[in-house]
Structure 1
Amino acid sequence: MRIEVLVDVKTTLGEGPVWDVQDQRLYWIDSFGCRVFRCTADGREIRAWDVPEKIGSMALRRGCGAVVSLATGFHFLDFETGDTTLIVNPEPDKPNNRLNDGKVDQRGRFIAGSMDTQEAGPNGSLYRLDPDLSLHRLDDGIIVSNGPCWSPDGKTFYFSDTWSDEIWAYDYDLETGNVANRRTFTKLGMSPGCATDGSTVDAEGFVWNAQCYVGKLCRYAPDGSLDRVIEMPVKKVTSVSFGGPNLDILFVTSMARPPLPRFPGDGVQRGSLFAIHDLGIQGLPEPRFGG
């Protein structure tokens, strides 16, 4: 196994790596820097787009451009012009919330949740944006929405509230996009201050989770048991995703500056985009939003 700094752009809050199988490019975001980045698998040809608000996540569209979860709602992002267009604001009555992590299911629906910007109260919800641009609330009572991803067959949905010390599993109906039977998939319990952050599922059905503030990547078997722990060179790791020509490189984002003063600082590699090679594991292609 080899860990390298792929791109050092000092993202204030790096998040949401997404590998584009079609064009062989990696996208990731700076949530607080209000930017979307793109590069090749080896860190070349870096490109960036500014967005007008804090950004929680992005997904590529089947046509062109992306759908992004900005602070005030779901938007389209046009890569040609850099313009963003509002689709819907799910929480106009909650000015202290913003949208956060999100991913697309096998049928092209974008699932993303909101969060309390002070990370204090259960004021957030989980939403599904369908290809027809209709919006549906799937769950609520969430402090910080994080880590949405699916089992390889698409029938189990994984999700977490960052400060719950758990990753949850739901039954997922691929036909309707509805969730049911929320239960504990695994408990973290690793060390004080550990927070569950972005997740992905590999081709073997194992869940990878970035555990922020303790600098660990954890791989969990489908039964929730801990399979592997990778110690990262920075503490504030934020999200993970497989990519590269063979989908066998694990890309890892990190933050340069914590969002609240109670969180720890980090070393000179803070805010870097990392690539982990030679794991002997492949990921799954990320679906595109159908709208």
Structure 2
Amino acid sequence: MTGVVALQAALVLDCANGHGEGILWNPADCRVWWTDIQGQGLWWFRPDDRLSGRIALPARLCAFAPRAGGGWIMAFADGVELWSADFRREARLHTFEPGNPHTRLNDGRTDRQGRFVVGGMNEGTGAFDSSVIRVNADRSVETLFGGVSCANSTCFSADGSTMFFADSPRRQIEAIAYGGLAERRVFVETPGIPDGSCVDADGGLWNAVWEGAAVMRFDAQGRVTHRIDLPARRATCCAFGGEDLATLYITTSRLGADAAELVATPRAGGLFAARPGLLGLADRPFAG
């Protein structure tokens, strides 16, 4: 692609996640956090001294965020819970789609007001019958919209007026007017299957390309400006981190990889990073 900045991601941690996802930077402890959904573990990495760790969980954690008052909001496959800072379960806030045995929660992120937005997926049949919900600061839960097969790419413009969202099988990322959610337009037709996304301080959107071995940046007009290649086929999510928010951290997956693929790409499931020369935006902690 002419004029596109091409970069290579470097391995940060060879953690061999079954399905790394949901990565974020937590400025409160200066750590990168992400989940291994299939491995039922929450991982962290501290750039300053390169220490890392894993916290075992009782179920598949799909998305999460720190809470402003301490602790975490955790979107497990079957529902949303509040957990303490030392990872003890405090309360269940919402059970997700209990009448549908095929759906689970998937991708989520806080909006600019500190509300937690998380969407579902139908991992049984792929039907477009799941939904996107929002957990408000008062712990109430509302459904934003339905008709979803696999929610991904949830992130928000700097001023909070636009929500970016992908239903992955449609191979496009939408820009949704976040006030009323009625105005929706195709922001970009993606060259691959869109997975997790984040935005930068210049208004660009970075998207992990599932089965595309890359993360791609689109500017405000939807044009590709950067491509970061990975030695792993399944990029899953990305987030800017480090105290300067100048490093893009990228999770990857081994989901669906056969033995031959793992021989060819042995670092699949690892945590990768690149410094693209642009700065990220800090996410708001959950306000509840």
Paired position in structure 1 for 2:226: 228
Tell me the alpha carbon deviations over residues 15-42 of structure 1, each in whole angstroms, 9 at most, x when there is no partner.
0111012221111100111111112025
1:78 Cα deviation from its structure 2 partner: 2.2
Partner of 1:54: 60
8 A Cα contact 2:64 2:108, kept in partner: yes
Aligned to 1:19: 25
Q: Which runs of 4+ in 1 moved over 4 A?
A: none
Q: Give me the whole-angstrom Cα distance separating, in 2, the residues matched to 1:231 and 1:2.
A: 5
Q: 1:119 to 1:223 in 2, by over 3 A?
A: farther
2:70 aligns with 64
> Is 2:157–2:199's contact at 8 Å kept on the other side of the alignment?
yes
- 1:163-242 to 2 correspondences below 5 Å: 163-173=169-179, 178-188=180-190, 190=191, 194-242=192-240
Contact 1:49–1:82 at 8 Å: present in 2 too? no
SS of 2:255's equivalent? Answer: coil
How far, CA to CA, are the matches of 1:4 and 1:202 in structure 2? 20
C-alpha RMSD of the superposition: 1.7
8 Å CA contact retained: 2:8, 2:228:
no
Tell me the matched-pair count. 279
Aligned to 2:271: 273
- Tell me, in whole angstroms, the C-alpha distance in 2 between the residues paired with 1:232 and 1:81: 32
Listed one character per residue, the Cα deviations across residues 224-243 of structure 1 (whole Å, up to 9, x for unaligned) are 12222222111111000000
Q: Which residue of 1 aligns with 2:14?
A: 8
Q: 1:98 to 1:10 in 2, by over 3 A?
A: same
TM-superposed CA distance for 1:153, in Å, is 1.1
Matched, 1:115 2:117: no
SS in 2 for 1:91: coil
Secondary structure of the corresponding residue to residue 38 of structure 2: coil
Shift of 1:120: 1.5
C-alpha change, 1:64 and 1:267, in structure 2 (3 Å) is: same
Question: 1:249 — aligned with what?
Answer: 247
Which of residues 89, 94, 100 in structure 2 aligns to 1:83? 89
Instruction: Quote how far apart the aligned CAs of 1:206 are.
Output: 0.3
- TM-superposed deviation, 1:77: 2.2
Name the amino acid aligned to 1:23.
Answer: D
Question: Is contact 2:8-2:229 (8 Å) kept?
Answer: no
Out of 251, 272, 290, the residue aligned to residue 287 of structure 2 is 290
Shift of residue 79 of structure 1?
Answer: 3.2
TM-score, length-scaled by structure 1: 0.91
Aligned partner of 2:195: which letter? D
1:29-76 deviations in whole A, cap 9, x for unaligned? 001111111120257232222222212111110011111111111011
Q: 1:137 & 1:179 partners in 2: Cα distance? A: 11
Larger deviation, residues 281-290 vs 2-11: 2-11
- Over residues 145-182 of structure 1, what are the superposed CA-to-partner deviations in whole Å (9 max), with x where a residue is unaligned? 00100111111110000111100010012xxxx42211
Shift in Å, 1:107: 1.0
SS at match of 2:131: strand
Structure 1 unpaired stretches of 5+: none
Which structure 2 residue ranges, 5 or more long, are not aligned?
Answer: 1-6
Q: CA deviation at 1:119?
A: 5.6
Matched, 1:159 2:162: no
Greater displacement, 152-161 / 82-91: 82-91
Deviations 1:243-263 (A, max 9, x none): 00100000000012328x8xx
